[in-house]
Amino acid sequence: MNKIVFIVGMAGSGKSLVSDELVKRGFGFVRFGQIVLDKIKDDGLEVNEANEKKIREGLRKEHGMAVMALLNIPKFDELLKKSNVVGDGLYSWSEYKILKEKYGNLMSVIAVYAPPEIRYGRLENRAVENDKDQRFRSNTKKEAKLRDYAEIESLEKGGPIAMADFTIVNTGTIDELKQKVREILSEIE
């Protein structure tokens, strides 16, 4: 049976790089936050941290803290029929509990950690050409810090990080990060 791996971590920790490495190894891909970006575009709003926060928190207020997981489960299930799956950007404790109940032992969680100052530096300097899905958006240090606080205080982000099956400390090179992913993948499979 195919496995599903969820990636959790604060902005700039390296979640997308870990997800990309799993995709290179044949995993299907779902980005939790794509729901937010799609709604911003549908509403004709500019993609920025203020609008993302407004939509993200609005969806959760209207539909509950597990909304991103619930809206993505059909995508996960469809991809699981064909391959292993990586879900990039698990946020809330409520999402974690719903997903754990649904997927049980098929599910693993990888937390990607980097200290705030390292993450803020990455976010300030981050820009990727042809990033049509806007996965690699820049933030100022102030924006990143505000986002950290909002995600911890309002979005229950600490729970999934604390309950992760694996933790990658991402303070080195991209090659070192990829090696850590390969080591975890050998345990998962």
What is the token pair recorded at 5? 């791996």
Which residue ranges make up each domain of the chain? Answer: 4-188
pLDDT less than 70: residues of the chain? 126-138
Cβ-based neighbour number of residue 100 at 10 Å = 16
Distances (CA, A) of 16 to 7, 60, 100: 8, 23, 21
Query: What is this structure's pTM?
Result: 0.87
| Phi and psi angles of residue 86, each rounded to the nearest 5 degrees, phi first | -115, 130
Q: What is the pLDDT of residue 131?
A: 44
Identify the pLDDT of residue 133: 53
| Domain 4-188 class, CATH top level | alpha beta
Q: Looking at residue 109, what is its pLDDT?
A: 98
